[in-house]
Chain A
């Protein structure tokens, strides 16, 4: 794919107090692509997105969106982008239509165009019959749909989505994913999203940047990322050991051939191994410790495994409570990170 880049991120850095939230990252997003920033909470995904959408000023570095600098030409950038924040951007006491009208009017869209566009957007997400109700009465799913169409009022070339499926039930998540894909396919909208949900990244994104501790540790398509760990050398095995003990777990972790060992359930283990004799070594180790193997499976790698392989820890290890943006200024983030 030799299409042009719509976003060029250059050495973007954000310091929050003394903590480096985003650490000198650079990447390109191609026009018409769905680009995912995948990583645990606190990895710096949201901060990156806030800087790209001109809501936060980079400490160092910059990015060019559609030819405009996000720092120097922020007003021009704002005309090109839409942002779906993890927070619901809408006023509960206004009706759905009044909300869209208010935000739309800030973009100086001609009145007749705006009226037509609002109606189209309501049709698109099947909210037409509710357009005159106050959004405070809406369900979470309806609010999420409102939140998305609000970002589309100016027909953005680039749509930023911060954790679009966070807190949604599986069905709503599917709907949102389909909606994003449809938007991307039909309007050619470039989508940049952050997520800590592997499914989102896997099913939706053309390319994925894996973010950890403010740095991009890997960037490629989902299948290429997976190939990283299922080369000739590495594989993932799932073991079922009925008499699994902490002692046995420790022994396996100590093995040279085991890159990472995670316990899935009381007697289930997932082991990332490398080397030709890995299987033999693992089985030997278990039997020597008196462990019984009731089943053994060679697994297809998931993005989760990729993350584990690259960073040495799991996504959900660090997935503690999401820290609200306001509080990040006070440097609580550093403490809430669990290694």
Chain B
């Protein structure tokens, strides 16, 4: 008897889900948007936030040489300029404009002709020739902090490299039994090599992709469900299902199944885009990734049903979706690491289940973690899902027959 009930419950749910997906696939524009929306999201968040390995190229930079020389010898500054040009021909990093004075450089920065400048001060050669450090000044455009920071970083690197070369040369001249390799060790005794848990150099996309996939899947059950059900109620088609001799549970189950299907399709599209277009690699097991997607759906379906019970019409449902979407997106560590946020925001994030889902997915996809590494995330998600469903089902039964 119970077996029969369960069987017909599932078969009715499957029919409702099939009906929903058929409708979805008939809607051409909707289908296109289904693909375009996550693509936009990926592209936008991927490019808005800098991803470490972006390199500047052909940035207009002014160069002012004020060097007055030491006894009319300007060799150090000339050597520096030659070196700078040499490095620049290799990297194409800057487009060097020669400026006559600091005032001219300032005007050019103000007019936006150049993004910043290098100033060789008048005592440059004197200092270098007398065995002191030669100081170079970098002038930045403060109205554009990002560019100014990048320029600063890039130029500091270049100058450092040039200093090292010069120092190596100096050491070799001082002592003839120092080889080229030894000289580098003498000038820079320590060097750093960075290594991650997995090989390769993950980009920012690798960081956001797992969270985005989870977000897409969860959104579809949490907010898609209220919208889909309130729409059927408004149009009247819900009555058609309600007068059929089926368990009320199979209506919500069927609708949830349909939305899950939609969410998974979208999730897979996001994943495929991330892998195909943005070079994201799944380091962990694909099975675990799929299981996490399903768990994400499970943990949010209850919340979706609760929202369905609360949303009286489609408009309310839509507004609920917008209200929930934004905090979820920005507070759950999907877009940027939780650690970057102030402590109180981090505390709020601890109450959002997406935080745990995104965390687990990221560990699996980026670090290749196994079940044991994400067990606490899994327990929280399962508990959250179960509690929500326990609240949701009686609530839903009540509103269906008011």
Contacts and interface: CB of A to CB of B under 8 A. Distances in A.
Interface string B295-314: 00000000000000000110
B72 to A, nearest CB: 86
A50 B239 CA distance: 10
A91 B244 contact: no
Interface size of B as a range: 20 to 34
Interface string B207-243: 0000000000000000000000000011111011111
A87 B239 contact: yes
A93 B27 contact: yes
A159 to B, nearest CB: 11
B230 to A, nearest CB: 9
Interface string A42-82: 00000000000111110000000000000000011011011
Contact of A85 (B23, B239, B244): B239
B246 A93 contact: no
B15 A106 contact: yes
A107 B245 contact: yes
A205 B235 CA distance: 29
Contacts of A53: 243
A326 B245 contact: no
* Of A103, A106, A326, most B-chain CB atoms within 10 Å: A106
B19 A326 contact: no
A76 B402 CA distance: 19
Contacts of B239: 55, 83, 85, 87, 89
Contacts of B27: 93
Nearest to B251: A106
Contacts of B235: 87
Given A57-B401, A93-B23, A106 B237 contact: no
Interface in A133-150: 134, 150
A66 B243 CA distance: 16
A94 interface: yes
Contacts of B23: 91, 93-94
Contacts of A103: 240-241, 244
A247 interface: no
A158 to B, nearest CB: 12
Nearest to B24: A93
Nearest to B25: A93
A164 B42 CA distance: 51
A193 B246 CA distance: 24
Nearest to B237: A89
B233 A107 contact: no
A94 B22 contact: yes
Given A94-B22, A106-B15, A57 B402 contact: yes
B237 A134 contact: no
Contacts of A127: none
Contacts, number: 72
A21 interface: no
B245 A56 contact: no
A105 B234 CA distance: 23
Nearest to B230: A326
A326 B22 contact: no
Nearest to B238: A89
A90 interface: yes
Contact of B236 (A76, A85, A134): A85
B363 interface: no
B240 A150 contact: yes
A238 to B, nearest CB: 41
A103 B240 CA distance: 7
B12 interface: yes
B236 A93 contact: no
B245 A102 contact: no
Interface in A82-125: 82-83, 85, 87-91, 93-94, 98, 102-103, 105-108
A329 interface: yes
A74 B261 CA distance: 31
Contact of A106 (B233, B236, B246): B246
B243 A326 contact: no
Contact of B245 (A78, A85, A98, A134): A78
Contacts of A93: 22-23, 26-27
Contacts of B240: 89-90, 103, 150
A94 B22 CA distance: 7
A81 B15 CA distance: 21
Contacts of A57: 401-402
A94 B243 contact: no
A106 B22 contact: no
B122 interface: no
Contacts of B313: 326
B245 A88 contact: no
A153 to B, nearest CB: 9
Contacts of A326: 233-234, 312-313
Given A56-B402, A89-B236, A105 B245 contact: no
B8 interface: yes
Nearest to A106: B244
Interface string B1-45: 000000010001001000100110011000000000000000000
Interface centre among A56, A102, A329 (most CB of B within 10 A): A102
12 contacts: A53-B243, A56-B402, A76-B245, A79-B245, A83-B243, A90-B237, A93-B22, A103-B244, A106-B246, A107-B245, A326-B233, A326-B312
Given A91-B237, A106-B246, 11 more contacts: A55-B243, A57-B402, A81-B243, A82-B243, A83-B243, A89-B240, A91-B19, A98-B19, A98-B22, A102-B15, A106-B244
4 closest A-B pairs by beta carbon, nearest first, are A87-B236, A106-B244, A89-B240, A78-B245
